Chain A
Amino acid sequence: MNVHLQEDLSKHTLRADDGIAKGADLLKVENISLSFGGVKAITDISFDIKKGEIRAIIGPNGAGKTSMLNVINGFYFPQQGTITFRGEKRRRARASETARDGIARTFQNIALFKGMSTLDNIMTGRITLQKRSLLWHALWKGPAEREEIEHREAVERIIDFLEIEHIRKTPVGRLPYGLQKRVELGRALAADPALLLLDEPMAGMNLEEKADMSRFILDVNQQYGTTIALIEHDMGVVMDLSDRVVVLDYGKKIGDGTPDEVRNNPDVIDAYLGVPH
Chain B
Amino acid sequence: MPSTVQAGARALDTFPQYLLWNAERFSTRTAMRHKDHSIWKSWNWAELAAEIRAFSLGLRAIGLQSGDKVAIVGHNRPRLYWTFAAVQALGGVPVPVYADSVAEEMVYVLNHAGVRFAVCQDQEQVDKVLSMADELKDLHKIVYDEGRGLHDYNHNNLHSIDAIERAGREIFAREGDAAWKAGIAAGKGGDLAVMLYTSGTTGKPKGVMLSFDNLVISARNGNAFDNLSESDSVLSYLPLAWVGDHVFSYAQAYVGGYCVCCPESPETVDSDRREIAPSYFFAPPRVFENLLTAVMVRMEDAGPTKKRMFDYFMAHARRVGEPILNGETVGFFDRLKYRLGEFLVYGPLKNRMGFLRMRVGYTAGEAIGPEIFRFYRSLGLNLKQLYGQTEASVYISAQPDGEIRADTVGRPSPDVEIRIEENGEVLYRSPGVFVGYYKNEEATRETKTSDNWVHTGDAGFFDHEGHLRIIDRAKDVGKLNDGSLFAPKYIENKLKFFPNIKEAVAFGDGRDVCTVFLNIDLTAVGNWAERNNISYASYQELAQHPRVYAMMEEHVAQVNRDLASEDTMAGSQIARFLVLHKELDADDGELTRTQKVRRSFIAERYAPLIEALYDGSTEKYVETEVTFEDGRKGKIVATVEIREMERKPAAPAQKEAAE
Please give the residue numbers on chain A whose beta carbons come within 8 Å of chain B beta carbons, in ascending order.
Answer: 1-3, 5-9, 11, 152-153, 156-157, 159-161, 163, 165-166, 168-169, 208, 211, 219, 222-223
Complex alpha-carbon distance, A159 and B267, angstroms = 14
A7: contacting residue among B63, B148, B160, B171, CB under 8 A: B160
| Contact in complex: A163, B265 (CB < 8 Å) | yes
| Contact in complex: B629, A223 (CB < 8 Å) | no
In order of increasing CB-CB distance, the 6 nearest A-B pairs are A166-B267, A156-B37, A5-B163, A3-B61, A166-B268, A165-B264
Proximity bits, B415-431, A CB within 8 Å = 1, else 0: 00000000000000000
On chain B, the residues within 8 Å of A8 by CB distance are 160, 162-163
Return the chain B residue nearest A160 by Cβ: B37
Shortest CB distance A151–B (Å): 13
On chain B, the residues within 8 Å of A169 by CB distance are 271
Return the chain B residue nearest A6 by Cβ: B163
Report B257-308 residues with CB < 8 Å from chain A CB.
264-265, 267-268, 271
Complex alpha-carbon distance, A160 and B268, angstroms = 12
Complex alpha-carbon distance, A37 and B265, angstroms = 53
| Contact in complex: A11, B265 (CB < 8 Å) | no
| Contact in complex: B149, A219 (CB < 8 Å) | yes
| Contact in complex: A168, B38 (CB < 8 Å) | yes
B531 contacts the other chain (Cβ, under 8 Å)?
no
6 additional A-B residue pairs with CB within 8 Å, beyond A5-B62, A159-B37, A222-B152 = A5-B166, A7-B159, A7-B163, A8-B162, A153-B37, A157-B37
Shortest CB distance B583–A (Å): 17
| Contact in complex: A7, B37 (CB < 8 Å) | no
Complex alpha-carbon distance, A8 and B151, angstroms = 9
Shortest CB distance A222–B (Å): 7
| Contact in complex: A161, B148 (CB < 8 Å) | yes
| Contact in complex: B151, A6 (CB < 8 Å) | no
Complex alpha-carbon distance, A8 and B165, angstroms = 12
B511 contacts the other chain (Cβ, under 8 Å)?
no
Shortest CB distance B621–A (Å): 27
Complex alpha-carbon distance, A163 and B75, angstroms = 14
On chain B, the residues within 8 Å of A156 by CB distance are 37-39
Return the chain B residue nearest A157 by Cβ: B37
On chain B, the residues within 8 Å of A211 by CB distance are 630
On chain B, the residues within 8 Å of A157 by CB distance are 37
Shortest CB distance A119–B (Å): 8
Complex alpha-carbon distance, A157 and B39, angstroms = 12
| Contact in complex: B268, A165 (CB < 8 Å) | yes
Complex alpha-carbon distance, A20 and B167, angstroms = 36
B405 contacts the other chain (Cβ, under 8 Å)?
no
Interchain Cβ contacts under 8 Å between A and B, 22 examples = A1-B63, A2-B61, A2-B62, A3-B167, A5-B164, A5-B166, A6-B163, A6-B166, A7-B155, A9-B151, A11-B151, A160-B37, A161-B148, A165-B38, A165-B265, A165-B267, A165-B268, A166-B265, A208-B630, A222-B149, A222-B152, A223-B148
| Contact in complex: A9, B149 (CB < 8 Å) | no
| Contact in complex: A5, B38 (CB < 8 Å) | no
Known contacts A7-B160, A160-B37, A208-B629; A1/B61 CB under 8 A: yes
Report B162-180 residues with CB < 8 Å from chain A CB.
162-164, 166-167, 171
On chain B, the residues within 8 Å of A2 by CB distance are 61-63
Known contacts A5-B62, A157-B37, A159-B38; A219/B148 CB under 8 A: yes
Return the chain A residue nearest B263 by Cβ: A165
| Contact in complex: A223, B164 (CB < 8 Å) | no
Known contacts A165-B265, A223-B148; A9/B155 CB under 8 A: yes
Return the chain A residue nearest B266 by Cβ: A166
Complex alpha-carbon distance, A222 and B152, angstroms = 9
Shortest CB distance B639–A (Å): 26
Complex alpha-carbon distance, A165 and B262, angstroms = 14
Shortest CB distance B262–A (Å): 13
On chain A, the residues within 8 Å of B166 by CB distance are 5-6
